[in-house]
Structure 1
Amino acid sequence: MRHSRAMPYHADPPVRLHREASRAESLRLLRDADLGRIVFISRAVPAIRLVSHIVRDDHIVIGTGYDPEIASVLRRPGLTQVIYQADLIAPDTRLGWSITATGRAGLIEDEGELDRFRPLLRGWTGQDLDLFVQIRPELVTGVVVGARS
């Protein structure tokens, strides 16, 4: 007598839908997340930091613990070119979105503005936030990956 083994059932993976997000949708999606990565040039090489963020008036405001590299780069006269990237992707399905914003950034040093932003941002490691940066996005691109049911 032969024993038959039941073949495991593998559902077909969902059909993935990939589309570009508009600037407005990209900024709206950024509002749904609170962590992202700021990329800047320090000592002639790219530096990347994971930071907390909020979106206010189409600007990205980030908060981080004291970081001498960020402070040094952003204290230079004028605004500094940076890239900001955030995503929200479900690990099991790999569906979600990824947004990249390129723009000019500067430290927020006005006490009134700092008082306004301090309660709105939390450090991802639990540390106090010492540096607050405003990014004025010039180019915002996004990709959304969903599934068709």
Structure 2
Amino acid sequence: MERQRVPVEIDPEAALDLLGRAEFGRVAFVVDGAPVIRPLNHVVLDGRIFVFTRHTSAFARAVKAGAGLRVAYEADEVEPDTRLGWSVLVSGTVVDVSRDPHAAQIGLQVESWMRDPLDMVIAVDPERVSGLRLVAAK
């Protein structure tokens, strides 16, 4: 008999820690009134989420098009057999930090799947962090 699963809230600090260990996440943003979701590799440093991308990517173009772009960033990990795991959702604004003196070092910490030259570092400044862990019921 399959055990029931129950959602348990994760506090924001623990949620950011889980996000920092995730291999990749998904950024959601709006372009021309339509939602767009893109998978991205990231690194979490000092409570911010950093991605390293091409300046020609849809996400980079949206960041450059307007200051204060609001996004949602999500990552999860679910074990296929037990279907237990976690999900973290961050909402906030983004900023191009490519000109920051440490941008190159931050970019190199992001283990990107892309082979194209990456030349833009974007930071997500979290305003709200939430998470759920799916655990087996007792």
Asked if Structure 1 and Structure 2 have the same fold, meaning a TM-score greater than 0.5 normalized by the shorter chain, the answer is yes
Percent identity, please: 28
Question: Which deviations, in whole Å up to 9, do the C-alpha atoms of 1:36-69 show, x marking residues without a partner?
Answer: 0011111111111100011111111112344442
1:24 CA drift (Å): 0.8
CA distance in 1, matches of 2:18, 2:131: 9
**Match in the other structure for 2:96:** 107
**Match in the other structure for 1:121:** 110
1:133 CA drift (Å): 1.0
Name the count of aligned residue pairs.
138
Pair 1:39-2:28 in alignment:
yes
Distance 1:47 1:128, change over 3 A: same
- Give the one of 104, 109, 121 matched to 1:132: 121
1:113 CA drift (Å): 2.2
Distance 1:127 1:13, change over 3 A: farther
CA distance in 1, matches of 2:40, 2:87: 16
CA distance in 2, matches of 1:65, 1:96: 31
Consecutive unaligned residues in structure 1, runs of 5 or more: 1-11
Consecutive unaligned residues in structure 2, runs of 5 or more: none
Q: Which moved more, 1:133-142 or 1:16-25?
A: 16-25
The letter for the 2-side match of 1:27 is L
Give the structure with higher Rg (CA): 1
- Give the one of 129, 133, 138 matched to 1:144: 133
1:122 CA drift (Å): 1.5
Distance 1:106 1:89, change over 3 A: same
Q: Is the 8 A contact 2:51 2:122 kept in 1?
A: yes
- Give the one of 68, 74, 77 matched to 1:85: 74
Q: CA RMSD in A?
A: 1.9
CA distance in 2, matches of 1:104, 1:111: 17
- Please, what TM-score do these two structures have when normalized by structure 1? 0.82
